[in-house]
Amino acid sequence: MTQVITYDKTKNEVRTVIKKPFIMASEMLGWKNRKSQGLGFNKQIINTCLVNHADLTVYVESNEAWYTISFENLKSFMDFYFTDYQVKSNVVLNVIAFDEFHLLS
């Protein structure tokens, strides 16, 4: 399923929707000293955030809630942790630790 991306230039925010977290993310990606689920995003979503220095906001359907991560925290996480997860021969997602996101009220 293709992830839909919305970029709000006035808020400098990228928005998308994910069905549910990737439960085994920390183990599968070798995140040392971390026991976190992950949220997987296609490269277009992450690249839009990085190019525009934009925050990322995601609706997680299984939790029925919106979460956000700042550009600075997203970049820092990606600089420190391995995030590439191959789901198909030609599809690689960037997986970000769910505990890096903050619940929007």
Q: Quick one: pLDDT at residue 100?
A: 97
Q: Quick one: pLDDT at residue 33?
A: 85
Q: What is the DSSP letter of 99?
A: G
Question: How do the domains of the chain map onto residue ranges?
Answer: 6-103
CA 67 distance to own-chain centroid? 10
Question: Which segments of the chain have a pLDDT < 50?
Answer: none
Give me the helices (H) in the chain, please. Answer: 25-29, 43-52, 71-80
> Ramachandran region of residue 5, left (φ > 0), alpha (ψ -120 to 50) or beta?
beta
Q: Quick one: pLDDT at residue 1?
A: 60
CA 6 distance to own-chain centroid? 14
